[in-house]
């Protein structure tokens, strides 16, 4: 009887070890890759593709977008950020979407050249809070808001030959208050 009971104990022990091993595998498979990599003795290349596949948030300030107080305009992101170098540490810059113009400036650092409270835009619409910062082949590029509050439909083709980067009225007011003459405007791809 002793040999059969030791066989049962050995079988139960092996079964328990198998269950514990399976549960450990499940836990490591569902753990964040940073926790697995920190506790693993595997080579650095074994951390998997998830580390490389993470993309920055579209709301995150683009890398290499300059320093100091500035407006950052992402052409591909169709978004601007108001970066205040005097803001308290940890404060995120205000950001909002824009409707791009038909004529785009090249990625570079510009300065606010002129401003107009209310004018008729190059597309014939009454606009307000116009902040101009670049000139491309005779077309003035600037941020503005339509007085009637309308925005181009997402994906709409901007009117040819215009340099109006359109914002909502509230966002246009924020840019107007922030981007005074000589403030930097950093355009990124």
80-107 pLDDT, tens digit each: 999 998 888 888 999 999 999 999 999 9
The answer as to whether 133 is a domain residue is yes
Same domain, 165 and 89: yes
The answer as to whether 9 is a domain residue is yes
Same domain, 99 and 176: yes
The answer as to whether 48 is a domain residue is yes
Same domain, 14 and 88: no
The answer as to whether 60 is a domain residue is no
pLDDT in tens, 53-78: 567 787 889 989 999 999 999 999 99
The two tokens of residue 121 are 């835009």
Same domain, 109 and 174: yes
Task: Give the number of domains in the chain.
Answer: 2
Same domain, 105 and 17: no
The domain containing residue 112 runs over which residues? 70-188
Same domain, 96 and 20: no
Residue 135, sorted as left (phi over 0), alpha (psi -120 to 50) or beta, turns out to be beta
Same domain, 84 and 149: yes
pLDDT in tens, 115-173: 999 999 877 889 999 999 999 999 999 999 999 998 887 777 787 788 999 999 999 99
The answer as to whether 64 is a domain residue is no
Q: How far apart are CA 126 and CA 58, in angstroms?
A: 30
By the 8 A CB rule, do 93 and 85 touch?
no
Please list the residues that pair with 109 across neighbouring strands: 186
The answer as to whether 61 is a domain residue is no
DSSP 24: H
What global pTM score does this model have?
0.69
Residue 52 CB coordination number (10 Å): 8
Q: Is the dihedral of CA 62, 66, 67, 68 positive or negative?
A: negative
> What pLDDT was estimated at residue 106?
97
């Amino acid at each position: 009887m002793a040999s059969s009971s030791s066989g049962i104990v050995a079988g139960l022990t092996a079964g328990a070890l198998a269950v514990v091993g399976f549960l450990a595998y499940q836990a490591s498979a569902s753990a964040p890759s940073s926790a697995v990599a920190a506790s693993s003795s595997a080579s650095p290349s074994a951390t998997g593709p998830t580390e490389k596949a993470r993309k920055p948030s579209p709301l995150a300030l683009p890398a290499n977008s300059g320093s100091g107080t500035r407006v950052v305009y992402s052409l591909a992101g169709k978004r601007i950020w108001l970066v205040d170098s005097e803001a308290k540490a940890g404060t995120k810059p205000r950001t909002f979407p824009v409707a791009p113009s038909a004529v785009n400036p090249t990625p570079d650092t510009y300065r606010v050249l002129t401003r107009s409270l209310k004018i008729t835009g190059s597309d014939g619409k009454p606009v307000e809070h116009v902040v101009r910062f670049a000139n491309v082949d005779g077309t003035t590029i600037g941020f503005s808001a339509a007085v009637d509050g309308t925005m181009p439909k997402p994906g709409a083709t901007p009117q040819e030959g215009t340099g109006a980067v359109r914002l909502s009225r509230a966002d246009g007011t924020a840019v107007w208050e922030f981007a005074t003459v000589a403030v930097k405007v950093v355009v990124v791809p």
